[in-house]
Amino acid sequence: MMYIPPEMLNTTVQRNDSGPQNQSNSSIPIPIVARWTVLPALEVIICISGLIGNSLVLGIFIKRGMLKQPFHIYLGNLLTANIIWLIFQIPLDVTNQIYPVWFLGNAACAIYQYAINVPGGVTTNTHLLIALNRIWAVQSPLTYAHHHSRSFALGACIVVWILAYGMGVPGIVLHAYNTPDYPDNCQLSTAPAVSQWLLTIQIIIYDIPNVLMLAFYPFLVWKRQQRNRIRQQRKAPTNTSINAIAQPSSVGTTAAPSDKKTGRSSENYKGFILLTFLTAGVMLCWTPCNVIYTAGGFIDVSTWTLSTQISLFLFDLLPVVDPIMFALIFLTNKTGGSE
């Protein structure tokens, strides 16, 4: 996401004044003492619970062989990105907030920039991949059944990582060649090249997936309702004849087609429920933060301190919610369901 100066997060950068009357104090080292506030404390809780949840669910997916199913590859990709993001981004973000100076060096600062833009970008765009997958399954079920394979899903996930790296790595390079406006904090410079890159990555990596997910969901709901009406219309005239034919025989094989359809319907329903929760999570957890950070590219949002803190907490919360949703929807039986 785009960066906002430390004062928006109530992380005061303590420096000695450079005026003539204070020049004698310029060499006095700044005491490195942690100053905890509500947001970093909540982030620590989110980090611990998120790592436990994502690791457990990913481990169960691997143990049960669920990642052999194409749709579950997207879920495994999202869980992996969440884990990387939680390991690298949140601890460094907390460090940047609670200490008055950045004492970890340029290398750690570069990792911090990487963690925000690469795993974070993968997370947002994997949510979009899941939405596109569900629309494809509903819009063209035959094409989806024939062409959606493990190799296709793996390729789509690789493309997302390449996109995130392609957009995120230039920021690290720009950070290396531009002096930050806050040299005692791990913050990017507001040089024109850096500002343009920040706005570009915000729009492409975060805003577009956010908008598309919110726009796709009503279409998916409409398409599902349309398909259900067509199924009911096809089924109604043949109910009597089907019952008449099926009633004399109780052979188990007659139920197989029905069982297969029931299983497929159950799997599609799980996918729809998942997308419903993911869309709600994006709307509640991501949209406020993306609005603020995008607005920061055009107007001064330095006075939006409380709104920024709340939106950042909500944004950090979604990686904790993701594994809970996956567990409730896909781990309620031994097989875990598929597509």
pLDDT in tens, 265-289: 566 778 888 889 999 999 999 999 9
Greater confidence (13 vs 163) lies with 163
At 33-77, the pLDDT tens digits run: 888 988 899 999 999 999 999 999 999 999 999 999 999 999 999
Cβ count near 243 (within 10 Å): 9
Q: List domains and CATH numbers for the chain.
A: 34-235+261-330 (1.20.1070.10)
- Predicted pLDDT of residue 22: 44
Question: Residue 173: CB partners within 8 Å, gap ≥ 6?
Answer: none
Does residue 122 carry a pLDDT above 50?
yes
Q: How confident is the model at residue 179 (pLDDT cuts 50, 70, 90)?
A: low
- Predicted pLDDT of residue 27: 47
Mean pLDDT to the nearest integer, 214-220 = 91
Q: How confident is the model at residue 104 (pLDDT cuts 50, 70, 90)?
A: confident
At 288-299, the pLDDT tens digits run: 999 998 998 888
Mean pLDDT to the nearest integer, 92-106 = 84
Does residue 20 carry a pLDDT above 90?
no
Does residue 251 carry a pLDDT above 70?
no
- Predicted pLDDT of residue 244: 47
Q: What is the mean pLDDT of the chain?
A: 79
Greater confidence (338 vs 317) lies with 317
Does residue 256 carry a pLDDT above 60?
no
